[in-house]
Chains A and B, each alone.
Chain A
Amino acid sequence: MRALSQPLGGGPETNPLDLVCAQASMKTGALLDRHLSEGVRERLEGLAATLPDLFGTLDPTCLVRIAERLGGEPGEATFGEILLLSDRSLHVIQPLTSQPGVALVAECPATSSIGMVLSAIRARIVSMEGG
């Protein structure tokens, strides 16, 4: 399995989105990648620390009931992808289906297109899970 951590490329030419990502535990909020640079760790640590709150505080049956009211299948009782936007940054949390309890956390400047960022993250996950 290829590491997900660190920038998606080696520099601005190969990582024009300035996107960094890493795996984190949804139970403890700790970053799981040991070889992160200090800069990447700094950008992702706070986001990772929120995971237990974001994924552990909503009554799971609530999402099921809402899905039913919307006429859909009951589906999953937990959130999938979460995006957080500010004028500075775009943060993404993507639980990994191949590793329950683990999520990919990512951050990039807010100037990036949301679509391009999500595509890059999904490509990264596919590459990791298939690699």
Chain B
Amino acid sequence: MSVERESTRVLPSIPASPGLITSVLRLLAVIDDLPKGATGVLKFGDNGLILLESRKICWAVARSMRLRLTDILRNQSTPPLPREAVEEIYRRCKIDGRPIGEALVMSGLVSEAGLRVALFKHNGEAIAHLAGSGLSPEAFVSHTRTGYDPKFSFSPCEVLAMLGSLDDPARALAAQIELGNTLVPDSFGAAFVRSDTVSGALVIAVDRACDLPVSDLVEVCNWTAGLFDVAHTFDREAALARATWGGRLALVTWRAKDVAYVGVCASRAAAARLVSRLESTAKSSGVIAAAARYGGPA
């Protein structure tokens, strides 16, 4: 019996270049600019494609990438999945026109979680290659055929965060856990750091509900970073903030060491719950000073 390994979230074949995130942001912004519900193929000529369903990334491939999904899936298990079994399912899917990942789950060879991790790696790598090549999409061809399971599709924010996490995967994993432990119903969020590789915030983790345009997510993160900068001019220990807008929306932001978090709340009640949770976590951890809990000024 094979055992799936914990996700490392690391994509070893992606070259970590300083301009990677900037070029990925540019490419993901193209997806964000598509109409709501856009379903179809973003074509890069012979160099690759990105398949979208309701503006979420279902599948991406770049000619220059080295790893195939089947390789990722096989190597995610210990011992690796038998090549013949995987390739047999691949052959049948090609004939039937079914997505291979879902067929592998049906076969019991791969778990849903394992497939999601593998697809995430595959698509992230493809997008990094496409963005890194400097090519712009040649066309978006929309179609009405749907069928990808939403569980196995990814928002541009998720892809951005995955590539941002390459800098320090352990830190990104800790941030992901912090988001999961802290966010409340009716809220979603992101974690970011300041990095030399980008001119502003580097998003390193998001929760799965985070589906903002990537440029807006980065804009909010940059504003949040600035908020703490200016707050520290008069209160060096400021570590938690809430800002409301519209009739009911709010941002809640907090810090832990060198990582900052932002929670976007769809209701005032969610914002109040989130602030209350952050306050009580600080108190119950035995740390009276919120700044000690949240890390204080960087």
Give me the interface of A with B, judged by CB distance under 8 Å: 45-47, 49-50, 53-54, 57-59, 62-63, 65-67, 69-89, 91, 110, 114
How many angstroms between the C-alpha atoms of A110 and B289 in the bound complex? 10
Chosen A-B contacts, 6 in total, with CB atoms closer than 8 Å, are: A46-B233, A50-B230, A75-B246, A77-B245, A81-B244, A85-B290
B235 contacts A88, C-beta separation under 8 Å: yes
Nearest first, the 9 closest Cβ-Cβ pairs linking A and B are A46-B234, A75-B246, A86-B237, A87-B289, A50-B230, A85-B240, A58-B223, A87-B290, A86-B238
B288 contacts A87, C-beta separation under 8 Å: yes
Q: Is B227's beta carbon under 8 Å from chain A?
A: yes
| Residues of chain B within 8 A of A110, CB atoms compared | 290
| Residues of chain A within 8 A of B291, CB atoms compared | 86-87
| Residues of chain A within 8 A of B245, CB atoms compared | 63, 67, 75-80
Q: Is B264's beta carbon under 8 Å from chain A?
A: yes
B208 to chain A, nearest CB (A): 15
| Residues of chain B within 8 A of A78, CB atoms compared | 245
> With A50-B231, A65-B213, A66-B264 given, is the CB distance from A72 to B247 under 8 Å?
yes
How many angstroms between the C-alpha atoms of A3 and B165 in the bound complex? 51
**Given contacts A62-B220, A84-B231, could you give 11 more A-B pairs where the C-beta distance is less than 8 Å?**
A46-B235, A58-B219, A65-B212, A67-B246, A69-B213, A72-B249, A81-B243, A86-B236, A86-B239, A86-B240, A114-B275
How many angstroms between the C-alpha atoms of A49 and B212 in the bound complex? 31
Q: Chain B interface: which size bin?
A: 35 or more
| Residues of chain B within 8 A of A85, CB atoms compared | 238-241, 275, 279, 290
How many angstroms between the C-alpha atoms of A72 and B245 in the bound complex? 11
| Residues of chain A within 8 A of B167, CB atoms compared | none
Indicate which residue in B211, B220, B241 contacts A84 across the interface (CB closer than 8 Å). Answer: B241
How many angstroms between the C-alpha atoms of A54 and B241 in the bound complex? 12
B193 to chain A, nearest CB (A): 19
Indicate which residue in A58, A76, A84 contacts B246 across the interface (CB closer than 8 Å). Answer: A76
B233 contacts A75, C-beta separation under 8 Å: no
Give me the interface of B with A, judged by CB distance under 8 Å: 211-213, 215-216, 219-220, 223, 226-227, 230-231, 233-249, 264, 266, 275, 279, 288-292
B155 to chain A, nearest CB (A): 10
A62 contacts B226, C-beta separation under 8 Å: no
B162 to chain A, nearest CB (A): 20
Across the interface, name the chain B residue whose C-beta is closest to A93: B243
| Residues of chain B within 8 A of A53, CB atoms compared | 226, 230
A57 contacts B226, C-beta separation under 8 Å: yes
> With A79-B244, A87-B289, A87-B291 given, is the CB distance from A66 to B249 under 8 Å?
yes
How many angstroms between the C-alpha atoms of A74 and B113 in the bound complex? 36
| Residues of chain B within 8 A of A58, CB atoms compared | 219-220, 223
| Residues of chain B within 8 A of A49, CB atoms compared | 230, 233-234
| Residues of chain A within 8 A of B233, CB atoms compared | 46, 49-50
B269 to chain A, nearest CB (A): 13
B238 contacts A66, C-beta separation under 8 Å: no
A97 to chain B, nearest CB (A): 13
